[in-house]
Structure 1
Amino acid sequence: MAINGRNYDWEDISVQLPHGESVGITEIKYGDEQGIEARYGKGSIPRGFGRKNYSASGSMVLDRDEWERLKKELARDNGDIYGHKPFPIVVHYANDDMGSVTDVLKNCKVTKFDGGGGSQGDDKVASITCEFTILSPISWNGTPAKAEVKSYMS
């Protein structure tokens, strides 16, 4: 099999958080879904389907210094971490061999922080895992997962 160039790797990703470009992020994951449920009538074969609600969520792992910057920005609105306004996260992939890709996670709300501490011998002490709910459809490189309905968040 021929090698056709370099694919995206961690070095090709940049992440924009409310306080600016993140340099202390070691992982980001996100996804969305909209399930369906088969609808039955007479017999045992589905006659059609109904759509369930769309949902999107994600997580990221931050070094302690990056967490401190994010925490300060989130608490700016009303003084606490979970009372923040929804914010966007922009994930950009780019390298010389492949095209530029930008995913936009609009209206994110932090739902959980986990981590801190460490033990003797750890080389990565006090990293913080941040989970978030994405309240608007993800824009996958310019293609929305769902058409947005105008709401108070638009």
Structure 2
Amino acid sequence: MAINGRGYDWEDIGVTLPSGESVGITEIKYTDGQAKTAHYGRGAIPRAYGRGNYEASGSMALDRDEWERLKKWLVDSGSGGIYDHKPFTIVVNYANDDMENITDTLRSAVITKFDGGGSQGDDKVSAITCEFTLLEPILWNGTPAKKNDNTLRI
């Protein structure tokens, strides 16, 4: 990338949901983490650490028409209710001419909450906010946030 070149902006982000490429998405955020706890023995300095559970989640804001497409897929993929859907993948791609293409993959997403509505003066009263939990580690441009070691050992 050239110095003082163009960085990524909203126009450079593409989001693919199970209902197809999303053009009615106005925001997407995702995060992950794993707690680390210091283990102490004698003295005030930790001797080791323990690991908590890995957790990943996110949210996105959708225009009403995009929400309706996603809602139809959610209902059709499960047993008839919005929250009864199968886990799905969200692909977030960052691409422009000045920078490397980046693809983050949010696997096994399950919807946990929807918010909608509006008020007088809103220019987008039909926007729906969707929160989700990820049941697998995020692939940050192909690199897993956490090695999946959920194999049964006998």
Does 2:59 align with 1:65? no
Q: Which amino acid aligns with 1:114?
A: D
Taking structure 1 as the reference length, the TM-score comes to 0.93
Inter-partner Cα distance in structure 2 for 1:114 and 1:120: 17
Partner of 1:138: 138
Inter-partner Cα distance in structure 2 for 1:3 and 1:39: 45
Query: SS of 2:69's equivalent?
Result: helix
4+ long deviations beyond 4 Å: none
Query: SS of 2:79's equivalent?
Result: coil
Query: SS of 1:126's equivalent?
Result: coil
Higher mean alpha-carbon deviation, 118-127 vs 4-13, is at 118-127
Give runs of aligned pairs for residues 74-93 of structure 1, distance below 5 A. Answer: 74-76=74-76, 77-93=78-94
Does 2:51 align with 1:51? yes
Inter-partner Cα distance in structure 2 for 1:53 and 1:89: 22
> How many residues in Structure 1 have an aligned counterpart in Structure 2?
149
Partner of 2:119: 119
Return the structure number with greater strand share.
Answer: 2
Inter-partner Cα distance in structure 2 for 1:127 and 1:46: 48
Partner of 2:95: 94
Query: SS of 2:43's equivalent?
Result: coil
Query: SS of 2:51's equivalent?
Result: strand
How far is 1:149 from its partner? 2.6
Q: Which amino acid aligns with 2:4?
A: N
Taking only aligned residues, the RMSD between alpha carbons, in angstroms, comes to 1.3
Inter-partner Cα distance in structure 2 for 1:75 and 1:25: 20
Q: Which amino acid aligns with 1:56?
A: A
Does 2:77 align with 1:106? no
Inter-partner Cα distance in structure 2 for 1:111 and 1:9: 28
Q: Which amino acid aligns with 2:88?
A: F
Instruction: Report the identity percentage.
Output: 70
Taking structure 2 as the reference length, the TM-score comes to 0.93
Higher mean alpha-carbon deviation, 43-52 vs 130-139, is at 43-52
Inter-partner Cα distance in structure 2 for 1:45 and 1:5: 46
